[in-house]
C-alpha cells in the first residue's frame, strides 16, 4: 500500500494467468487484483483492476479508460496489447454499471448503494486512476525488471474524462493521453436530462418524438449553408450554435416554426413542416442554450454547455416519448425518469437512490452538494501547465452530433483551456479536434435532406484517423500532428479541423479534402 499514491487499506493479487497467442492477441500474462477501501461501511467497495503484459514487450504501457458509469474492467486485449503494450485498467471502484432504480426499483435493486459513499465517488472521479496506475507500475517492473519508457492514457466518453483528468491531476505519470468524446462536466451531464424533463413538467412544454423531423429540419435549413455548401452537413458548428443560443436574449430562432395562434393543428404530424407550440419552443431553447448554475462549480465553471444543433434522427435521450412521474398528465403507474447517469442525481446528489430525480431544484437544498461533487467528478480544470512543462501531449476529439455527451460543454472546455493557457502554448502540447455531425462513437452521416429542402442520399462523414500513432510520433519522436489532418471514410476525405475552425467549402469536388479549408467561424 505504501507504493500506491492515493489511500487504500490493502492490495491483493490473484495468481498470474498465462494466455497463449490467439489470433491478433499475443501471448501474455494477466494478473487481477483488488484494492480495499479505507472506509469500512457497507456502502464501500474495492477497486478491481487487471494488467496484461505481453511476452514481447515494446517498453510502453497504456492505461485504458472506462465507459458509462464504469463498474467493469475495460477490455485490455485489443489494440495496444496487440502492438506490444502492457495494458491495464480498473472497474473504477464499484461493481456493476449503476443502471436501475435502486433498492426498490427493478432488476438492479440492492446493488446501487455504492452511490451513497463519498470514497467510492472520489474513486470514480479520479483516485482509481492513480491507484490503478501505481499498482500496474509495480507489477510491470517486477515482471520485466524495468519501468515503461512511455506511459499513455487512452479513453472514450467516461474514459475520455479520465484521460484529461489524469493529465491535470497526475501530470508526472503520463507522457500522452487520448481523450475521445470526454464527458468533462460529468456532474452536470448526469443532471442535464433532468433539467429537460423538469422543463417539460407542464404538459404544454413537452417536445414529443413526432417533432424530431421538424427540429432537425430547422437546424439544417438555417445552418447547412453556413459552411459554403448545401449538402446536409452542418460543418460550421460554432455559427450554428450561435444561431440557436438564446442566452443573450435575442429573437427566437424558432419563430418560423411557431404554430399559428399557438395551437398545434396536428400534434402527431411527423413532417419537417410541422409547427411547434410556444411551450415546445421554450424547451428547445433550454436544450440548445447554455444552462447557467445558481452557484459556480469547481474550476469556476458557471454554466453547462448543453447540446448544439444536430441531426441525430432519434433525438436520443433528449426527446421523451412518455410522461414521467411528477409530470403533468402522467398516469398513476408512470415510470420514474431514468437514464444512464440518473444514479448520479439520486445517489450522489440527492443521497436517496429511490428518489424521483424530477424533484431537483436549481439553487435549492442540493446546491452545496452540487458544488462539492463537481470537484472530484468534473474534468474541467483548464490548467495543464505541469503536463505541458514535462513534455506531455494530448489529442482530444469530439463530435457535434453527440447526444450522450454534451458537445456544448466540450466546446466550452476547449475554449477555457485556450483562455487559460493561450493558443500558442496549447498548440505546443494539445490538439483539440472537432468532427462535425458525428456522434458518440465519432461516426456519422449527412442528413437525408439538405438546407434547401431537397432529399439527398446520405453519405458517411469522413472520420478515419490513427490517434495512437499520431500521439506516439509526437511524444517519442517530436513529430507534431497537423492542425488539420485529412480524415477519410467511404472514398471521401475532409480536413479534421482544430477548434474553433471548421471545414469550409472553397470549390471543387465535394468529396475531396482539397476542396475545403479550415476556417474560423
pLDDT digits (tens, 9 = 90+) for 379-416: 999 999 999 999 999 999 999 999 999 999 999 999 99
Percentage of the chain exceeding pLDDT 70:
97
pLDDT at residue 238, as a whole number: 98
Reference 85, options 51, 61, 52, 50; nearest CA is: 61
Lowest mean pLDDT among 213-222, 314-323, 432-441: 314-323
Q: What is the pTM of this model?
A: 0.96
The gap between the terminal CA atoms of the chain, to the nearest Å, is 52
Selection from 475, 507, 470 nearest residue 487 by Cα: 470
Q: Give yes or no for a contact between 224 and 326, defined as CB atoms under 8 angstroms apart.
A: no
Residue 108 is predicted with a pLDDT of 38
Asked if 483 and 474 touch (Cβ cutoff 8 Å), the reply is no
* CB contact at 8 A, 307 and 290: no
pLDDT band at 100; cut points 50, 70, 90: very low
Distance between CA atoms of residues 472 and 59, nearest Å: 13
pLDDT in tens, 431-455: 999 999 999 999 999 999 999 999 9
Question: Which pLDDT score, from 0 to 100, does residue 47 have?
Answer: 98
* CA–CA distances in Å: residue 64 to residues 75, 153, 179: 8, 6, 11
- Please name the residue that has the C-alpha cell 473504477: 92
Amino acid at each position: 500500500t505504501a507504493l500506491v499514491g492515493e489511500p487504500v487499506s490493502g492490495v491483493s493479487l490473484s495468481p498470474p494467468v498465462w494466455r497463449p497467442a490467439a489470433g491478433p492477441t499475443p501471448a501474455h500474462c494477466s494478473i487481477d487484483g483488488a484494492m480495499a477501501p479505507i472506509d469500512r461501511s457497507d456502502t464501500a467497495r474495492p477497486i478491481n483492476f487487471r494488467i496484461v503484459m505481453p511476452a514481447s514487450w515494446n517498453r510502453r504501457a497504456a492505461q485504458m479508460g472506462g465507459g458509462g458509469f464504469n463498474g467493469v474492467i475495460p477490455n485490455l486485449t485489443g489494440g495496444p496489447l496487440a502492438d506490444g503494450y502492457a495494458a491495464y485498467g480498473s472497474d473504477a471502484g464499484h461493481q456493476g454499471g449503476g443502471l436501475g432504480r435502486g433498492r426498490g426499483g427493478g432488476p438492479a435493486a440492492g446493488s446501487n448503494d455504492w452511490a451513497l459513499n463519498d470514497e467510492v465517488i472520489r474513486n470514480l472521479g479520479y483516485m482509481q486512476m492513480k491507484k490503478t496506475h501505481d499498482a500496474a507500475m509495480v507489477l510491470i517492473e517486477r515482471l520485466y525488471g524495468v519501468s515503461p519508457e512511455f506511459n499513455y492514457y487512452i479513453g472514450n466518453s467516461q474514459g475520455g474524462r479520465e484521460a484529461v483528468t489524469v493529465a491535470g491531476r497526475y501530470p508526472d505519470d503520463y507522457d500522452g493521453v487520448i481523450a475521445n468524446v470526454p464527458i468533462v462536466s460529468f456532474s452536470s451531464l448526469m443532471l442535464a436530462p433532468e433539467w429537460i424533463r423538469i422543463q417539460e413538467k407542464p404538459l404544454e412544454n413537452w417536445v414529443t418524438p413526432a417533432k424530431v423531423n421538424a427540429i432537425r429540419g430547422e437546424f439544417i435549413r438555417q445552418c447547412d449553408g453556413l459552411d459554403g455548401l448545401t449538402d446536409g452537413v452542418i460543418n460550421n458548428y460554432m455559427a450554428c450554435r450561435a444561431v440557436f443560443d438564446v442566452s443573450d436574449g435575442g429573437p427566437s430562432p424558432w419563430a418560423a416554426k411557431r404554430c399559428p395562434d399557438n395551437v398545434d393543428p396536428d400534434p402527431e404530424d411527423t413532417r419537417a413542416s410541422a409547427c411547434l407550440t410556444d411551450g415546445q419552443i421554450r424547451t428547445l431553447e433550454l436544450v440548445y442554450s447554455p444552462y447557467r448554475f445558481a452557484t459556480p462549480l469547481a474550476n469556476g465553471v458557471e454554466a453547462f454547455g448543453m447540446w448544439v444543433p444536430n441531426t441525430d434522427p432519434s433525438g436520443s435521450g433528449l426527446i421523451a416519448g412518455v410522461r414521467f412521474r411528477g409530470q403533468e398528465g402522467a398516469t398513476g403507474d408512470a415510470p420514474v425518469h431514468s437514464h444512464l447517469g440518473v444514479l448520479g442525481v439520486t445517489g450522489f446528489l440527492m443521497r436517496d437512490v429511490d428518489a424521483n430525480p424530477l424533484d431537483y431544484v436549481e439553487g435549492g437544498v442540493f446546491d452545496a452538494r452540487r458544488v462539492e461533487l463537481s470537484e472530484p467528478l468534473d474534468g474541467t480544470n483548464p490548467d495543464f501547465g505541469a503536463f505541458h512543462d514535462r513534455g506531455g501531449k494530448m489529442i482530444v476529439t469530439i463530435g457535434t452530433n453527440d447526444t450522450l455527451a454534451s458537445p456544448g460543454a466540450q466546446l466550452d472546455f476547449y475554449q477555457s483551456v485556450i483562455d487559460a493557457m493561450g493558443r500558442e502554448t496549447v498548440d505546443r502540447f494539445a490538439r483539440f479536434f472537432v468532427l462535425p455531425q458525428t456522434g458518440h462513437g465519432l461516426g456519422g452521416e449527412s442528413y437525408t435532406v439538405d438546407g434547401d429542402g431537397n432529399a439527398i442520399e446520405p453519405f458517411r462523414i469522413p472520420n478515419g484517423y490513427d490517434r495512437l500513432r499520431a500521439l506516439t510520433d509526437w511524444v517519442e519522436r517530436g513529430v507534431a500532428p497537423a492542425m488539420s489532418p485529412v480524415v477519410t471514410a467511404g472514398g471521401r476525405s475532409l480536413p479534421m479541423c482544430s477548434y474553433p475552425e471548421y471545414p469550409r467549402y472553397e470549390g471543387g469536388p465535394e468529396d475531396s479534402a482539397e476542396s475545403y479549408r479550415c476556417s474560423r467561424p
